[in-house]
């Protein structure tokens, strides 16, 4: 099963609501990049509100997909990072440079749209 990617205006929305297995994470990475290409999306919001733990593989895939999306010209906002997820990301040295963050999907989308207007 794949993670659905929603298109809203020129942004893509993804909500990850369960722990991903490795295969699903890699599939998500591929799907998101294809969708950015296909829709010419200028921004991506990835919502992690429901995720209270990530393992090292998923953290790496997440860091990669953010950098890949940026390479393709899409701004990325990560929303709802919980304490344990923040700890894992930093401890593993996953550098989310220049990544916008916000408390929830709604605020993330607003932030992204303000950025895109600039």
Q: Which of 3, 61, 81, 94 is the binder for a copy of itself (CB under 8 A)?
A: 3
Tokens representing residue 39 in the block: 């829709």
- Please tell me whether residue 38 binds a copy of itself under the rule CB under 8 A: no
CA distances from 60 to 4, 28, 94, 96, 117 (A): 20, 13, 7, 11, 30
* 8 vs 71, beta carbon nearer a copy of itself: 8
- Our finding on whether 51 is near a copy of itself (CB under 8 A) is no
Query: Among residues 41, 62, 81, 109, which is the contact residue for a copy of itself, using CB under 8 A?
Result: 109
Considering the rule CB under 8 A, would residue 18 count as an interface residue with a copy of itself? Answer: yes
Applying CB under 8 A, which part among 17-25, 60-68, 69-77, 84-92 lies near a copy of itself?
17-25
Q: Which is nearer to a copy of itself, 9 or 114 (CB)?
A: 9
Burial string for 65-82 (b: 16+ CB within 10 Å, else e) reads bbbbbeeeebbbbbbbbe
Give yes or no for a contact between 97 and 67, defined as CB atoms under 8 angstroms apart: no
- As a whole number of angstroms, the distance between CA 69 and CA 28 comes to 12
Q: 75 has which bridge partners?
A: 43
Q: Contact residues for a copy of itself (CB under 8 A)?
A: 1-9, 13, 15-18, 24, 47, 104-106, 109
């Amino acid at each position: 099963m794949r993670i659905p990617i929603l298109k809203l205006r020129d942004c893509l929305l993804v909500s990850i609501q369960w722990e991903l297995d490795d295969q699903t994470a890699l599939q998500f990475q591929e799907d998101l990049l294809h969708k950015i290409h296909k829709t010419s999306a200028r921004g991506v919001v990835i919502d992690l509100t429901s995720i209270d733990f990530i393992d090292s593989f998923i953290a790496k895939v997440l860091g990669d997909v953010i950098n890949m999306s940026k390479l393709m010209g899409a701004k990325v906002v990560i929303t709802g990072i919980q304490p344990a997820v923040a700890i894992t990301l930093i401890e593993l040295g996953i550098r989310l440079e220049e990544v916008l963050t916000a408390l929830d999907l709604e605020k993330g989308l607003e932030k992204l749209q303000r950025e895109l207007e600039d």
